[in-house]
Structure 1
Amino acid sequence: MSTASVTGTSGEDRSDYTREESRAIRRRSLRLLGSLVSPLRWQLVLAAAVLVVSTAFRVAGPALIAYGIDNALPAVIDRLDWMPAIGVVVVYLVTAIGGAGLIGWYVVVSARLTQAVMLDLRKRIFLHTQRLSLEFHESYTSGRIISRQTSDLDSIRELLDGGLNELVTGILYGVFTLVALLLIDWQSGLILVAMGVPLFLLMRWFYTRSQVVYRESRVISAQVIVKFVETMTGIRAVKAFRKEPRNDDEFGKLASDYRDVNMRSIRLFGTFEPALMAVASTSIALVLLWGGIRVVGGGIEVGILLAAVLYIRNFFSPLQEVAFFLNSYQSATAALEKVSGVLEEEPTVPDPVNPVDLWTARGGIRFEDVTFGYSDAKVILPDFSLDIPAGQTIALVGTTGAGKSTLAKLVSRFYDPTRGRVSLDGVDLRSMHPKDLRRAIVMVTQEAYLFSGTVADNIALGKPDATLAEIQAAARAVGAHEFIEALPDGYGTDVNKRGGRVSAGQRQLISFARAFLANPAVLILDEATASLDIPSERLIQDALQTLLADRTAIIIAHRLSTVAIADRVLVMEHGRIIEDDAPAELIGGDGKFAKLHAAWQESLV
């Protein structure tokens, strides 16, 4: 199993990583960051050059003030020579205005860099999560995916937008300030260097403590989002089972935990900021004391002392922003770890390296010694073999957990068998070109999902270039035309707008029309009539018989009325076929299907 699998899906919301896991995660995050920044390296060079020049202009101010006080001002007083003073003022204005202009340019350049990185990252997450196999989506909750695309990306954006700029600017400004201070007064510079020891210890303490707090913050934040999304998604079940009070308690506990971890971070800042101010004030006091002694003794000029004090103050002023960067950095680092974990997940059903084209499929399906189980769970299909000739309609019947839906997922290649192979017209599904596979095999599930857009758009999902006449013909074939025409805008009705809402049964009919318009060689109906009432189900029986003609069909149904149209019934139990014959033959026997059929008839009386 890859590192991504260990730390991306199952371990990404933990805060107790081992040292080796933490190193692997950091390497993974750095790889992602490098791949995002690499195409923008020349823009980074431009931003760096602009930042260096603008910082140099800003740092020149106190030195110019010192020159003005110690040299230009005496020239005016002693000789009425205004040229040095005018020169200092002009240079000061040029550096100030030039520095401000360059900072403005840097803000624009860095903003473009940030937006370019975020656009690339947002698209990568969306495209990659679409490409991942069904196994990933069945184990990775929708709330966690939403968290990756929303709160985690927002944390990274905040880091790139403000935090990183503050860090780079602060460090560069601090280095330039220290160099300038050492050049104009090396003794004051040594005092600042000495005060760097307690400053380093303070910054290290804050970084270490905040690293733990902000990792916990990201974990709990994700849990809050997951709980909210799951509750709103399953609101019908919540209300049906009166789960509101229990949800209130569970969400309240998560919200309280989130508040507590945020309070811990606030207390950290409440300790850090006063301590930083104390170090800064002590440094200024020491420079003033030692500088004043030297001024009295004639060792330095007053202007030099003023410049030294200004440099000390300027050195400490951006450190608060650096501390805020640590806030953003911790949050963004945790977010980047999770995002990189998702992006390093590999599809468990990969596309073939050398795909085999199958332009026209007949529909013959064959299972050859197939063994399959989900992840590390028990085997669902043990040593399973089955031959479905092209054009035959089979019905799969059996108790829950018998392996019916698993068989359908293997035919659709949502999963690959652990051993053995599943083939279409003699071609292993693992070798088929993905476009040919999706065109040849279509599954309609009980969960009929409608996407944003019109009814016509939803029917044409598998055939985007279909004409309105083709769309209407498919709807008529499944008995959906009449209710669609009754909608406010007919086939042009937006399914997500007021007046465009449709019932569960109507959504299922639209999904039938969608599948039939795609015209696959193999059609799989996985409990597809479960949302239809008895009249609606009877309405499409004739349409099903017509549309399933000359096409391979696999019908999974608990309603035995749907099974009647099959050429062949397979009764499954514990991943094995225990009965296999025509419906009439099985009904006339004394096997399990006959008992199921008898029980179903009694339920109708």
Structure 2
Amino acid sequence: MTTADRKAWRGRAVEEDAERAAAEVPDERAMLRLRARSRRLLTGLLRPHRRLLGVAVALLLLQNAAGMAGPFLVMLIIDRGIPPLAARGDATLLLALGGLFLAAAVTEYATKRGFLLLSAQIGQSVLVDLRQRVYDTFQRLSVGFHERYTSGRMVARLTSDMDSIAELFDGGIDDLVLAGLSVLSVAGILLWLDLPLALVTLLSFPFLLLLSRWFARASARAYRRGREAVALLIVYFGESLGGIRAVHAFRREPRNQEIFAGINDDNRRATLHAYRLIAIYSPAIKLIGNVTVAVVLTYGGWQVMHGRTELGVLAAFLLYLRRFFEPMQELSQFYNALQSATAALEKLAAVLDEKPSVPEPEHAYPMPPGRPPGRLTLRNVEFAYRPGQVVLPALDVDVTAGQTVALVGATGAGKSTIAKLVGRFYDPTSGTVRLDGVDLRDLTDDQLRGAVVMVTQENHIFSGTVADNIRFGRPDATDEEVRAAAATIGADDFISRLPDGYDTDVHKRGGRLSAGQRQLVAFARAFLADPAVLILDEATSSLDVPSERLVQRALRTILADRTALVIAHRLSTVEIADRVLVLDAGQVVEDGPPAELIHSGGRYAALHQQWRDSLI
């Protein structure tokens, strides 16, 4: 796979918003925004657990104090406990100091165990809340977001990114925080124990600070690239398997393997780069630590020889130095988890900051109970999917309540766009779409979805039983209501012949059903929901001739006493309409009953004649 091919595919896969900014090397200002966004998210997630966090912090401080007591007690044992025992044979002080050392060790164990249990509880609660927020956000965001944000990236947010954060909570936080506490505590104790020795130790600090600062910046960029590489792997993997039939049909496997190999290699190189940084940082810390210990041991030994420092002080000093450099050395491993989790948190925060392009109204219109009449009004509606590319220029349409209107025209004429605006998957760029005189933007999602239902060419069939899929829009529907809906649209016969009838598992995406059967289930689902406005967007195009005839008979029952917009290239479906709108470039060029338009000799008449000729 060439670099150009890889970049071309990456360009199609990467989002057009903050996700892309996070994938590239961000400038300083962008990095600050990303960090602030992720900090706000983490603060919000931790806020409900303030009391438990306070207890966890107290346990961590107690654990650190118990750990710091060990070398100090060793110093006392050497300088205060052993001399009396050697001179007088009195082991009282030695035993007392040994008991204190044991008590400190037990305290350190108990507090560490308590902190791990408590942090696990907090961590899992935070992850549950975060997963729920991300899932709720993905469901709430508008269709426009989902059309540019691939399903593979959604899966990556809920899997690999969550795993990175879980890894930090599972074992990284206590090590990171304790390492920081140890470094600060040891620095203070060293200054208190022996100022000259501490000043010698401080000579290593500039090197440590410069090295750590370099590692923090370089690893942050590396792990952002790593998260993006993993996301691309998941995206392409999901995309390939989602279209596996097309892959097999067109013998696409070799080319897919080539592309996947390139993306996989990107991931390998990103991961290796992160490990190269660790390979520099960790040994360098160890080298600085060993050099410092050698200098302190030499200088401290000389001080002991001349009676300027006690032997116990030197021993404690060396033990504290070990507690100082060991966390610094291991910090690279902990920082690995921290940077990975930080990069993941930034991406999740970017998703959670997304705003729906069709937001809920601040003050919803109080719709009366029951099914509304269903009168539709489009006034001066203009719409563009992208700036400067107008699809509907100043469209005016009135649909009487209970009327069935067919939208006809060439591909790209604006038929499906009108359907999406009526279903409020998008809002018009200008103008208004009204239901019974109420702007759709003044209705809540619950009000709108209860009043308007769309049936498309590829309605999704979910895993579960046939009955579950029919009652998808009305979970409280009884078995009798489900059967009645299926019988009305003519689906009861084929459902009854299935192995378990209405309890038959349809398998993934309805794979157990034919295309026509899946569409009949979708019709039954829409009929059971009983909307005021029903939109049929190419809803019969996937049906064979016998199934289409069956649905044609049922459509008259389904559409009775309800407003309907019917989009179809098969004019057999259009013939049941009360009215036909012929569209061209987003404008209505013909409007009238089907029979009148056929006799008028206009565009619809020509389309009708072409359709009749195709049947011969």
Aligned to 1:174: 183
Distance in 1 between residues matched to 2:503 and 2:111, nearest whole Å: 53
Aligned to 1:8: 18
Aligned to 2:579: 568
Distance in 1 between residues matched to 2:284 and 2:438, nearest whole Å: 71
Distance in 2 between residues matched to 1:542 and 1:317, nearest whole Å: 79
Aligned to 1:217: 226
Distance in 2 between residues matched to 1:94 and 1:412, nearest whole Å: 69
Secondary structure of residue in 1 paired with 2:443: coil
> Aligned AA for 2:585?
H
* 1:269 is aligned to 2:278: yes
Aligned to 2:3: none
* 1:522 is aligned to 2:533: yes
Find 1:406's aligned residue among 405, 417, 422: 417
1:433-479 per-residue CA deviation (whole Å, 9 max, x = no partner) reads 33222111111011121123221111111111111111001111111
Aligned to 1:482: 493
Distance in 2 between residues matched to 1:119 and 1:325, nearest whole Å: 23
* 1:322 is aligned to 2:342: no
Shift, 1:200, TM fit: 1.4
CA contact (8 A) 1:443 1:525 kept: yes
Distance in 2 between residues matched to 1:8 and 1:113, nearest whole Å: 29
CA contact (8 A) 2:405 2:577 kept: yes
1:256-306 per-residue CA deviation (whole Å, 9 max, x = no partner) reads 111112112222222222211111111110111011111211222222211
Alignment of 1:282-297 (within 5 A): 282-297=291-306
Find 1:237's aligned residue among 215, 223, 246: 246
CA contact (8 A) 1:211 1:330 kept: yes
Find 2:269's aligned residue among 260, 264, 271: 260
CA contact (8 A) 1:395 1:554 kept: yes
Q: Which of 209-218 and 105-114 deviates more?
A: 209-218
Distance in 1 between residues matched to 2:374 and 2:499, nearest whole Å: 39
CA contact (8 A) 2:140 2:356 kept: yes
> Aligned AA for 1:551?
R
Aligned to 2:322: 313
Aligned to 1:39: 48
Alignment of 1:22-421 (within 5 A): 22-358=31-367, 359=369, 360-421=371-432
Shift, 1:499, TM fit: 10
> Aligned AA for 2:132?
K
Secondary structure of residue in 2 paired with 1:462: coil
Distance in 1 between residues matched to 2:42 and 2:132, nearest whole Å: 15
Shift, 1:6, TM fit: 7.3
CA contact (8 A) 1:371 1:418 kept: yes
Shift, 1:7, TM fit: 4.3
Distance in 1 between residues matched to 2:256 and 2:387, nearest whole Å: 31
Distance in 2 between residues matched to 1:314 and 1:478, nearest whole Å: 76
Aligned to 1:586: 597
Distance in 2 between residues matched to 1:322 and 1:451, nearest whole Å: 46
Shift, 1:558, TM fit: 0.9
Secondary structure of residue in 2 paired with 1:126: helix
* 1:556 is aligned to 2:567: yes
Aligned to 2:11: none
> Aligned AA for 1:463?
R
1:99-118 per-residue CA deviation (whole Å, 9 max, x = no partner) reads 11111101111111111111
TM-score (normalised: structure 1):
0.96
Distance in 2 between residues matched to 1:431 and 1:201, nearest whole Å: 57
Cα 1:271–1:434, aligned 2, differ >3 Å: closer, same or farther? closer
Aligned to 2:7: none
1:3-37 per-residue CA deviation (whole Å, 9 max, x = no partner) reads xx97435x345313233322222222221111111
Aligned to 1:596: 607
CA contact (8 A) 2:457 2:539 kept: yes
> Aligned AA for 1:372?
F
Secondary structure of residue in 1 paired with 2:560: coil
1:304-361 per-residue CA deviation (whole Å, 9 max, x = no partner) reads 2111111111111111332122222222222111111111111111111111132331
CA contact (8 A) 1:494 1:500 kept: no
Shift, 1:488, TM fit: 2.1
> Aligned AA for 2:394?
D
1:67-86 per-residue CA deviation (whole Å, 9 max, x = no partner) reads 11222111111101110011
> Aligned AA for 1:549?
A
> Aligned AA for 1:495?
V
Aligned to 1:467: 478
The total of aligned residue pairs comes to 600
> Aligned AA for 1:249?
E
Distance in 2 between residues matched to 1:527 and 1:282, nearest whole Å: 76
Stretches of structure 1 that go unaligned for 5 or more consecutive residues are none
CA contact (8 A) 1:357 1:433 kept: no
Distance in 1 between residues matched to 2:341 and 2:608, nearest whole Å: 59
CA contact (8 A) 1:403 1:572 kept: yes
1:55-94 per-residue CA deviation (whole Å, 9 max, x = no partner) reads 1111111111111122211111110111001101110000
CA contact (8 A) 1:63 1:184 kept: no
> Aligned AA for 1:490?
G
Find 2:518's aligned residue among 507, 513, 524: 507
Distance in 1 between residues matched to 2:188 and 2:172, nearest whole Å: 24
1:467-502 per-residue CA deviation (whole Å, 9 max, x = no partner) reads 111100111111111221122221112222799821
Shift, 1:151, TM fit: 1.0
Distance in 2 between residues matched to 1:6 and 1:45, nearest whole Å: 41
CA contact (8 A) 2:510 2:518 kept: no
Distance in 2 between residues matched to 1:331 and 1:159, nearest whole Å: 9
Stretches of structure 2 that go unaligned for 5 or more consecutive residues are 1-14
> Aligned AA for 2:362?
V
CA contact (8 A) 1:167 1:321 kept: no
CA contact (8 A) 2:63 2:107 kept: yes
Distance in 1 between residues matched to 2:271 and 2:448, nearest whole Å: 50
* 1:534 is aligned to 2:545: yes
Runs of 4+ more than 6 Å apart: 497-500
> Aligned AA for 2:320?
Y
CA contact (8 A) 2:134 2:352 kept: yes
Aligned residues with identical type, % of pairs: 49
Shift, 1:156, TM fit: 1.9
CA contact (8 A) 1:357 1:436 kept: no
Distance in 2 between residues matched to 1:270 and 1:384, nearest whole Å: 64
Distance in 2 between residues matched to 1:222 and 1:295, nearest whole Å: 59
CA contact (8 A) 1:488 1:500 kept: no
Shift, 1:52, TM fit: 0.6
Shift, 1:42, TM fit: 1.7
Shift, 1:131, TM fit: 0.9
Aligned to 2:457: 446
TM-score (normalised: structure 2):
0.94
> Aligned AA for 1:170?
A
